[in-house]
Structure 1
């Protein structure tokens, strides 16, 4: 109690309640529901005193909730579907359970397995964010796993998180001293579970850990079982019996290999030699009491396999795992549409995913659903059983793309764009050779495998440069650096460059950023739409406001973009989807990035153009030709109106996170606005994203020296619309010199300073571009954080500020002298 349910680790069915306690809480919940006359879904949260039978009702939500989705996936019982039928007048005893097809919905689900849910947090993106958990939810997503023991269920959930760990610990756990480990256990943050594992590994008693955490001894003993098995594996290297025990506990081959001191491939071979492979059990809502034909499975190391392999040709689609910054529900949208296309073509469609929040993990979507971690080992186990025609990786974001290499080494056929071409798009030298061959320019750039090489490259290219690791999504660890000192700091802190993990160093070009999604069948390339970003290059595409159709491009620029897109798609032998980002600088069009997969803009463009892009791409992957289904090469006809994709941020829930936009993605969602003009579509998009757009009030402006010339025009226009302008001394001086009426506000800490004005509601817009204020102590950081925490729009890009000014102008009468 005290940690938001969305940030809590959840286990089902309950493991520590006695039958008396369980029945009491069940009866209380039913009393509450009946007293409130609930018809449909309802969520009741209760707290139980562990030392008595005293309970407290915390919250009642008379609707389906986040927990409803989890409960539906954990049990197979479709809560929302049945709640909708109740809403139109049916009763539970009139409805058949869709899972069994024989029992009625009034029959409560029963589980013969253990489900674990672990939240996915964004602190790999926001390392300086406050990690302590409380009543304000901070997780961006979650994973769910199913096993026959709690140990198995927990370890499967841990490796589903994609933190790079497969066990109850942290990658660098051995380097921490014991005092620090205990301090982190007391901190009640997102990594507490892993530090508990490390403490047990060091010999800290369960009594001491219980004293610090109040976690039930049942769970602490389960954690200890996992650590004890680690020690046993190390003491019995290569022992087949211990290998079997470890697999039943949910240990991955990678962890076993580490303890056995052999390679992961050797452990795999050892398992194959001794027939140690998982079987797949059905999720049936009734603990096998009734016959069931649900195509919903989980893997475990037992005897009987319940997943019957059909004779049909089948295709496996890999999902995108937990929702996180850079990889959200857009990829699940593409996955579901791909599955529909596979089914329409007469194939059996199989999904592998582990996210209970998604549509793809609804058992009614695919012909078969495997609720399993998206790791090389877990996916290969399914492939070995199902023997599909091939595997599709281009709809599951970077999670699925990163598995392509690993699966191919086992001889698995990757459908669509070949593995060689996927790698060619990421390999700097091969990609540069292609661009030279097809005559498509890109900003000057080089690859570095060490800090020294990165410095040499940057000096050769010329600052500023954009630096980023290869093979990442969401611009993770991407930064614009302006000198040697900043680059050295980046190389030392943000990344560990190596020949296996090179860093890309590119010339930073300022200009209009353009995004294009295209579909290719290997012969014909169609472009459903071109999107223009309001923010210039340097702000991550996921954080930019995208506009369709482009508003300021010349016909020549559009022709060039079309030509370059077709050249790139054909040059890379794309079969399926491709996403390309361009920059239009003063001297022409350059390609910034090519992603040979589905992108986060696919749902946006699909809904605008009514071209089902993911389905069409999947049809191309299965061999259909685009011309045969009525498409001609090139840009497709524009739709009427203007469409805006606006990012949604969660900064108000994440303390100590700087909101300044840059090349690393920070948004957690997106919305769409549509109207006949750009300003009206923008107003709808910004309002839907949670921004309050007022046509009058006070604007606080405080910008860096490089932005002072550009801010003058924006400030002058706001002033003409009736906005009062207040600014810090340097900005105020510049505005005053240009004849703009401006009030100078005091520095932070003084009487009636600018933070106080924001907190008191005296400011309606903040424009702040002090990009160097990244530490908590800096004024710029405090201005931005105070704005967010008080619900005041804070714009860190002058392009966004200019767009908002246009919106305000469209809402107001002119104040200018005629």
Structure 2
């Protein structure tokens, strides 16, 4: 169908200041959206509090406001500019939160501003953990068992029955619960069944108004659940799932995006799979362009933010040409015959007082992406790009203490230990010990992908966080995931 004719002026919300967890990936997406909308003849109004971005370049928008991203300021801009529509999905979590605040305050209704890209109801269902859990159970998908807490006392009570999850003592549990309650827009947290040590996967998907659905990219986290994806080495496409498992995940993603109500645009959906029994649970969904969207765009050549902006105008996927092939439409799912590896980069030397422990809160300040025909090739290219002073093997062999059951010291808690732990195989420790103590799952069971991932588990290495606790009833504290910008 042709694009909507009722839209002449569109307000785009930027992601604000560059902070850990919400950085230049959203500037990349916002810039793409601005160019796409202007190419369609629309007048673009941009508001962003960060002048040091590409999207605030005067050439990218018709009007640019470098102002604080607060309800009062944006409401005043809407009153002055009178846009026809608001596009919040390229501004990260900041954009979604601000859109919800504007709707709640009645600003959008007062000035007849339409929300495009994602509806308010879709945002609420995706961001509210209880609503999301109920929605997943309605469509027959499994989610971690959980309990909702609106206060610290309620969280502690739940911890006594569900366990402490990623918290290893009551003091740490209280700190996590207090921070989660503070960051949550609805002042709620969920104490969930522990999935630490499970394999973590992501799907970047898109849907249009005609219910066409495509998977842009599948992403696998080398780190198991328990480490933020921004701090994890990730690989695209997924290498360690069988075709049957992947199709089950793909089918679930289609049902999720339809149930949540994202009618136009892209979403990031995250899953966890128990390597012992294959149980798959849905972790969360981001109804917006995310950090992983930027990685998927560069990995596949599919401009997710640009296509999402066009879908918000009413176009269908089969009406948008593919920029790479120039022959096929955007409704064709990208296929790649190479492996893409993303490796995070930390800079703790500039933050000497910071806690180096890698948890569910992102701490890396950047990342590198490498492409190769095999995992090993892409991984080594990525390592060279980290500027760690290594041009050959990732880390030279280091002397390790041998203890009962394997190498002691494998219970690394921070990024600094990564260099030593990846040298464990050359130090003589068994890879089975490394796998059991770190939950890095290096085997590949997919015959379809076996040619691309013929790599021994030790080449993926051991990682750098607390040892996985086996057995018992644990729970993972999930501060309403709107506080996590992916």
Provide the residue aligned with 1:30 in structure 2: none
Provide the residue aligned with 1:456 in structure 2: 157
Query: 8 Å contact 1:692–1:793 — kept in the other structure?
Result: no
Q: CA deviation at 1:600?
A: 0.5
Instruction: Identify which of 386, 394, 402 aligns with 2:89.
Output: 394
Deviations 1:304-331 (A, max 9, x none): xxxxxxx991101111111001101100
Classify the secondary structure of the residue corresponding to 2:93.
Answer: helix
Provide the residue aligned with 2:123 in structure 1: 422
Q: Which has the higher contact order (CA 8 A, sep 6+)?
A: 2
2:187 corresponds to 1:501:
yes
Instruction: Identify which of 649, 660, 664 aligns with 2:346.
Output: 649
Map 1:440-589; keep pairs closer than 5 Å.
Answer: 440-460=141-161, 462-465=162-165, 480-482=166-168, 484=170, 486-491=172-177, 495-496=181-182, 500-509=186-195, 510-522=197-209, 523-574=211-262, 575-585=264-274, 586-589=277-280
Q: C-alpha separation between the residues in 1 aligned to 2:309 and 2:394?
A: 51
Q: CA deviation at 1:392?
A: 0.7
Provide the residue aligned with 1:734 in structure 2: 404
Deviations 1:142-164 (A, max 9, x none): xxxxxxxxxxxxxxxxxxxxxxx
Query: 8 Å contact 1:354–1:361 — kept in the other structure?
Result: no
Q: C-alpha separation between the residues in 2 aligned to 1:345 and 1:801?
A: 46
Q: CA deviation at 1:493?
A: 6.8
Q: CA, structure 1 residues 686+697, in 2 after alignment: closer, same or farther (shift >3 Å)?
A: closer
Query: 8 Å contact 1:691–1:793 — kept in the other structure?
Result: no
Query: 8 Å contact 2:12–2:46 — kept in the other structure?
Result: yes
Provide the residue aligned with 2:61 in structure 1: 366
Aligned-residue RMSD, C-alpha? 3.0
Query: 8 Å contact 1:560–1:589 — kept in the other structure?
Result: no
Q: CA, structure 1 residues 533+386, in 2 after alignment: closer, same or farther (shift >3 Å)?
A: same
Q: C-alpha separation between the residues in 1 aligned to 2:26 and 2:236?
A: 20
Query: 8 Å contact 1:516–1:580 — kept in the other structure?
Result: yes
Deviations 1:561-612 (A, max 9, x none): 1111111111112121211111111342111111111100222211221211
Query: 8 Å contact 1:525–1:566 — kept in the other structure?
Result: yes
Q: C-alpha separation between the residues in 2 aligned to 1:798 and 1:540?
A: 15
Q: C-alpha separation between the residues in 2 aligned to 1:401 and 1:356?
A: 20
Q: CA deviation at 1:404?
A: 0.8
Worse overlay, 615-624 or 483-492: 483-492
Deviations 1:456-507 (A, max 9, x none): 32333x3352xxxxxxxxxxxxxx1245554245445775599941112111
Q: C-alpha separation between the residues in 1 aligned to 2:241 and 2:390?
A: 27
Q: C-alpha separation between the residues in 2 aligned to 1:590 and 1:318?
A: 32
Larger radius of gyration: 1
Classify the secondary structure of the residue corresponding to 1:601.
Answer: helix
Provide the residue aligned with 1:677 in structure 2: 374
Provide the residue aligned with 1:595 in structure 2: 286
Q: CA, structure 1 residues 492+501, in 2 after alignment: closer, same or farther (shift >3 Å)?
A: closer
Q: CA, structure 1 residues 695+632, in 2 after alignment: closer, same or farther (shift >3 Å)?
A: closer
Provide the residue aligned with 2:474 in structure 1: none
Provide the residue aligned with 1:475 in structure 2: none
Q: C-alpha separation between the residues in 1 aligned to 2:154 and 2:181?
A: 14
Query: 8 Å contact 1:525–1:569 — kept in the other structure?
Result: no
Q: CA, structure 1 residues 531+518, in 2 after alignment: closer, same or farther (shift >3 Å)?
A: same
Provide the residue aligned with 2:80 in structure 1: 385
Classify the secondary structure of the residue corresponding to 1:725.
Answer: coil
Query: 8 Å contact 2:297–2:303 — kept in the other structure?
Result: yes
Q: CA deviation at 1:512?
A: 0.9
Provide the residue aligned with 1:156 in structure 2: none
Instruction: Identify which of 292, 296, 299 aligns with 1:605.
Output: 296
Q: CA deviation at 1:681?
A: 0.3
Worse overlay, 604-613 or 313-322: 604-613
User: Size of the alignment, in residue pairs?
Assistant: 412
Query: 8 Å contact 1:315–1:391 — kept in the other structure?
Result: yes
Q: CA, structure 1 residues 371+632, in 2 after alignment: closer, same or farther (shift >3 Å)?
A: closer
Worse overlay, 386-395 or 492-501: 492-501
Instruction: Identify which of 101, 104, 108 aligns with 1:406.
Output: 101
Q: C-alpha separation between the residues in 1 aligned to 2:336 and 2:99?
A: 36
Classify the secondary structure of the residue corresponding to 2:115.
Answer: coil
Query: 8 Å contact 2:125–2:131 — kept in the other structure?
Result: yes
Q: C-alpha separation between the residues in 1 aligned to 2:185 and 2:236?
A: 40
Q: CA deviation at 1:651?
A: 0.9
Q: C-alpha separation between the residues in 2 aligned to 1:806 and 1:698?
A: 11
Provide the residue aligned with 2:469 in structure 1: none
Query: 8 Å contact 2:270–2:282 — kept in the other structure?
Result: yes
Give the TM-score taking structure 2 as reference length. 0.77
Unaligned runs of 5+ in 2: 1-5, 321-327, 423-433, 443-455, 462-486
Query: 8 Å contact 2:395–2:420 — kept in the other structure?
Result: no
Q: C-alpha separation between the residues in 2 aligned to 1:421 and 1:493?
A: 25
Unaligned runs of 5+ in 1: 1-310, 466-479, 700-722, 745-766, 772-780, 809-818
Map 1:615-764; keep pairs closer than 5 Å.
Answer: 615-629=306-320, 631=329, 636-693=333-390, 723=397, 725-727=399-401, 732-734=402-404
Q: CA deviation at 1:660?
A: 2.4
Classify the secondary structure of the residue corresponding to 1:539.
Answer: coil
Classify the secondary structure of the residue corresponding to 1:553.
Answer: coil
Q: CA, structure 1 residues 696+392, in 2 after alignment: closer, same or farther (shift >3 Å)?
A: closer
Instruction: Identify which of 104, 109, 133 aligns with 1:432.
Output: 133
Query: 8 Å contact 2:151–2:181 — kept in the other structure?
Result: no
Query: 8 Å contact 2:164–2:173 — kept in the other structure?
Result: no
Map 1:222-241; keep pairs closer than 5 Å.
Answer: none
